[in-house]
Amino acid sequence: MPQKDYVRASRPKAKPARASNARNSRKAAAPAPAKPWLLLIVTFALISGFIYFLWFLNQQPAAPTPVAKPEKTVKKDELPAKPTAEPYQYIKELENKEVKVEVTEQKSGGPYQMQCGSFRAEQQAETMKAQIAFAGFASQIRRTEGSNGVWYRVVLGPYESKRQATADNNRLRQQNINTCRIWNWS
């Protein structure tokens, strides 16, 4: 079945015009003659204005430039006489000086652990443990019974120092695991 052109079918058909009307419609549709004299006057005015501007700049007096006075030349090859003895004694004193520092042993704050989540459902704790495992760390799930019910905590550690726990916490944050907190486990 051939396709039907609905756009063309909806347009009204044009009536045939008489020959005299066709000539008049052509004259009305013809563009008006351009006015080249107006364009020439505007162009001439712009060019003459630019030439006047250049002439005006040329007529301005030049700003006086300051004349620099020639400076006396000093011989730069002459160096002062070398001293016979060093006037400062602290250099020799510092070479032979010994500093004694007393270092006290820092007490370990105890083992640290990092808790990354505490959940009521064991399945949620397993999900968090899997996320931590994908980040490259081994974690444990500890079941805790308290006065308000059973909790499943996801913990990492123990760590000997807080610095080690902080380093692992920073690496977990790079993997978008931002819920971990470090606790002193004693």
- Domain containing 153: what range? 112-184
Asked, for residue 127, whether it belongs to a domain, the answer is yes
For residues 114 and 135, give the distance between their C-alpha atoms in angstroms, rounded to a whole number. Answer: 15
Residue 126's φ and ψ, nearest 5 degrees, are -65, -35
Q: Quick one: what percent of the chain has pLDDT higher than 90?
A: 44
Give the residue-averaged pLDDT of 78-82.
Answer: 80
Q: Does residue 13 belong to any structural domain of this protein?
A: no
Q: Look at residue 24 in the predicted model and tell me its pLDDT.
A: 54
Q: For residue range 107-149, what is the model confidence (pLDDT) as tens digits?
A: 777 799 999 999 999 999 999 999 999 999 999 999 999 899 9
What is the Cα–Cα distance from 22 to 16, expressed in whole angstroms? 10
Decide if 5 is inside a domain.
no
Q: Is residue 128 part of a domain?
A: yes
Q: What percent of the chain has pLDDT over 70?
A: 78
pLDDT at residue 168 tops 80:
yes
Judge whether residue 36 has pLDDT over 70.
yes
Q: Quick check: is 153 in a domain?
A: yes
What is the domain-level CATH number for residue 118? Answer: 3.30.70.1070
pTM for the full predicted model: 0.44
Is 70 exceeded by the pLDDT of residue 17? no
- Could you tell me if residue 14 is inside a domain? no
Establish if 47 belongs to a structural domain.
no
At 55, list the tokens: 């002439």
Q: Which residue has the tokens 């204005």?
A: 49
Q: What is the mean pLDDT of the chain?
A: 83
Confidence band for 30, pLDDT divided at 50, 70 and 90: low
**How many domains are there within the chain?**
1
Within-domain flag for 123: yes
> DSSP E strands: which ranges in the chain?
112-119, 140-146, 149-159, 181-184
